[in-house]
Structure 1
């Protein structure tokens, strides 16, 4: 018995020492972020290649601008095994490679003068196809730039040829480096645009072709960027829609409520897998799950999560000092704009139970708040379907349903 007590005391002492080391004695090294901004493509010949290409068996491939230099080839599907997303790096005028080998031409464009259209020939180790460009498929694409003061921002604007919804959407990115090349975002933008919505998918500040720094920015800074995107739509596309909303994805679901507070023209807000706790509380939950998944017992994972979360925050001290204590509940409590909160019940990044407790308490005290909650069972943070290992269709269909009914 005495040995067991001594063993547990030794473990406790080791944890205390580890906590002290992690929090105070050995400070984490500050992360260095290097920014490399790309420019908007202005070559008319390159831009003429943008569009949809029809191949055999009814497959339609998208050619679009990459967030970096070059083009992007995408094939959308709800089965992960079928999707494709290839970065095309220019070698010569109509020749590209996909594997960073300038000596290997894997993609060729050829202009067919007879039918005044582009043909594409793709020949990589995993993808072989020939396709012809078709006009008026799905939606038109524009690479746009807009400004938040002196800050130049960029993005991809998708305008459906059949504008059946008369609704414009702006997507708000999650944490870290994130731009239009992230296929998780691009797939959602594509599906919504294919179903009649105008969709603006910006490059987050400091990412892709948007200038600025994301790792020193506050949520107010990000929200101001999104307000500039909304203003761009109001200035350039207002005749094409009569309602406008934002979709905050993950971290974007904190920023969305600042956008809502600052924009009278907003008709709805959708938060997807976003916590209603502060970022400080959320990151401790996320780190604790990472530790538990490595095989550490929960009674040890809990105190360790405090250490590792604190060290993770210390690597980006400026960002966490600005945003760590942000609480979305006071802003949600004042909303007159309809809000949809979407959660995944197996999310290990977001404390869903705690988030729901806070929401339920808010709605109990404010029963007339226009806030709806939807929980998707059997999915984690990315809202994947367990069978297809990709974004579940019923989630995206629910977005369309909810927007149509408000």
Structure 2
């Protein structure tokens, strides 16, 4: 049965409110309209809505989990303090994951309210895009670079263990986090040069609402293209490559350390007991410190591995944007572009939700403070209060 445009509009009330939206997905903005038949065969309007709505509801559940998990992680790191550089970088990572989950939640909520025909005092599609949708690629780049910094820091701990204390300090780590945020996320505000908020009359609601309009200034368009190209594409892909290389190096070094420790343990078993040999006692103490460092390295490897897996869909999506001209919000394959963007965007909240499980499993101090924070261990909580 053939479905007319009027039927689509009646079934999906959100269409009525975004007819004049410059980001409208149901208009043909492509210069090569001959591809439209092929694109419609790949993903029709009906299929697009089913998949899109499923992704909206599923991602909202993931986002809420990420908000809760990262809120708890931030609270635990604050209680642990920031005397250790790793606590500073992990806190920055949790804050960025939390912010990204909030932006995703805001965008999903706006679409959900519009889809259910809830009258809002603003044009949700445009306003939510400008106040959250545009910022998420930049914030994803920030998360990628913080993960790259954490991985690189652990590489230094293994390669130059005697000098790393002087190279990586709490003050230096804090400065590095600020520099990463300034260079990766702050350029997203250049997009506000391209768009501005205006009050317009909406005939559908029969009242004035807040909306956004794009500016056709050549300088504004140039700033937007440069900032998106550098911070939204080049920077995250470069950070992804750094994380991948550092993770491989860490895994190789961990295997070497494990083999070395097994050989040392075997040789020590043939010597005197530690209490009979002071040198052996000193070596045992060094081994305990090395094992503590190894646990931290393993935790970083786990975090980096999850990031790599979750960021692969984003890399594929960015590659499609570069290779296929029509794979945009204005091209023939706009439905596939939106769906793939949502699927790629799921990686970051999932990664942010899983990180707290890694901290709890591999970091004894984090686990102890977390249990006291959520009162899982009442006896430990009471003993801590008495102390």
Shorter-chain TM range is: under 0.3
Output the TM-score relative to the length of structure 2. 0.22
Name which structure has the greater RCO, CA cutoff 8 Å, separation 6+: 2
Output the TM-score relative to the length of structure 1. 0.22
More helix by share: 2
Larger Cα-atom Rg: 2
More strand by share: 1
